[in-house]
Amino acid sequence: MIKNYSETTPIVHELFPVSNKQIELSFTGYDISSDGGLLLLREVENQMGLINRISNCITDNRDQRYVDHTIREMLTQRVFQIAAGYEDCNDCDDLRDDMIFKTCAGRLPQTGLSLASQPTMSRLENSIKSQDLYRIGQELVDTFVESYDREPGVIILDCDDTNNNTYGQQELNLFNQYYHDHCYMPLHIYEGLSGKLITTILKPGRRSKQSDIASLLKKLILHLRKEWANTMIIVRGDSHFTSADFMRWCEEQYNTGYITGVSGHRKLHEMAAVTIQSAEREFKQYGKYVKRYHSFLYQAGSWSQPQKVVVKVEVSAMGTNIRYIVTNLVQFRAKDLYEKGYCARGAMELRIKEHKLYLRSDRSSCHRFKANQFRLFLHSIAYVLLHTFQKEVLRGTEFENATFKTIQNKIIKTAAWVKEMKTKVKIELPRCCPTKSIQSNCLEMFAVMRV
């Protein structure tokens, strides 16, 4: 039952009674926020300073006399909303007076002005220039470098792309036959051992050309090499990241390697014939699952020299499964290269899932391609903050390896009562909070770090 009142009177909902007492519900809790856990993420951001550096990458051509919302405030508002599960600009209208979001953006929770509305946020997205995007991308890579206390011995550049389906007239959206839909194909690059995000690049809805991949990877590796002269840098990806140009370039570089998939064809099957036939004979004789590895040198027509190719042969009741990889890491055994080297890239799919499913980075709702690239970067900033929070602050807890969705539901989605007083802001979280001890420990940790 719903009672209708005037516009100034809140609607009161009557629920099923308990112990013969009526229950009335209304959305009138003005001093309450449902995202109190974002205060922990605010502490992470204050330690990193990432959003402040990103805001300096954006050219602000507005007349400052009439500006109510700075670039940094709007970035903070948008990134923290994404981290809390509010992925779209439309959510800004409902959350612009939320006192936790205002606090995170640096405004007083009650007397501070409201945060940006959806039209204001949309204008920001569509004002971004190519130079701004380049600087933001570079800042994300520099943030990745700064996340290491010292030069790492080895890093793995895990590369993969995914589909962001489009549903309007977005620039450069193309029909992709594999996904049977119009989409973008953003390229994700993560560090394979740590899961740290390096960069995300929006692309039209088709697989990247090998020449484009080679050009991008060269620029990225040279940028990293300026900071890490001796680090072993390994590129890992599936077959469409096998670029003859990049392989040739790697031969001239110090401590630079690759391990990528190769599409099987008649010539490779001929060179692996002994291994394939042997595995099939063994299965036929004993009827048990068989897995074999073998390596050999092979040179495709576009390759400058022969490369080490590893074949994996699996034979079971389902049939024969044959897979190939190519690498310049010739010092390792074939089985280790495939199982410990190449197969470990499966974790990349989980990282894309965090980015795309839980942070909803596939919401490419703007018409302009540059605006959608900026939106992708905003989701990437949220990923960096949440990943840092997870791996550094929540280390040793049950949430260290939890999904972002679990962290959102159990930590970020914590009710908070906020009261702005004359000399301080008072925030109270529920006494009956399942993650109270973990959040208390995190807050004590941040208190020590601020000293």
**pLDDT of amino acid 424:** 93
Checking if the pLDDT of 227 tops 80, the result is yes
**pLDDT of amino acid 35:** 95
Rounded distance between C-alpha atoms, residue 336 and residue 342, angstroms: 9
Checking if the pLDDT of 379 tops 70, the result is yes
**pLDDT of amino acid 21:** 87
**pLDDT of amino acid 168:** 87
**pLDDT of amino acid 2:** 43
Rounded distance between C-alpha atoms, residue 368 and residue 364, angstroms: 10
Read off the DSSP letter of residue 85: T
**pLDDT of amino acid 283:** 96
pLDDT tens, 306-345? 999 999 999 999 999 999 999 999 999 999 999 999 999 9
Q: What mean pLDDT comes out for the span 21-27?
A: 82
Checking if the pLDDT of 117 tops 70, the result is yes
414 or 26, which is more confident? 414
Q: What mean pLDDT comes out for the span 374-398?
A: 97
Checking if the pLDDT of 207 tops 90, the result is no
Checking if the pLDDT of 6 tops 80, the result is no
Q: Where are the beta strands (DSSP E) in 263-318?
A: 290-298, 307-316
Q: What mean pLDDT comes out for the span 157-161?
A: 95
Please state whether beta strands 154-161 and 232-237 pair in parallel, antiparallel, or not at all (unpaired).
Answer: parallel
Long-range contacts of residues 391-395, Cβ cutoff 8 Å, at least 24 apart: 391/194, 391/195, 392/44, 393/40, 393/44, 393/442, 393/445, 394/438, 394/442
Above pLDDT 70, what percent of the chain? 98
Both tokens of residue 212?
Answer: 């484009």
55 to each of 73, 137, 175, 201, 210, how far by Cα in Å? 9, 12, 34, 19, 33
CB 92 within 8 A of CB 378: no
**pLDDT of amino acid 451:** 63
Q: What is the pTM for the complete model shown? A: 0.92
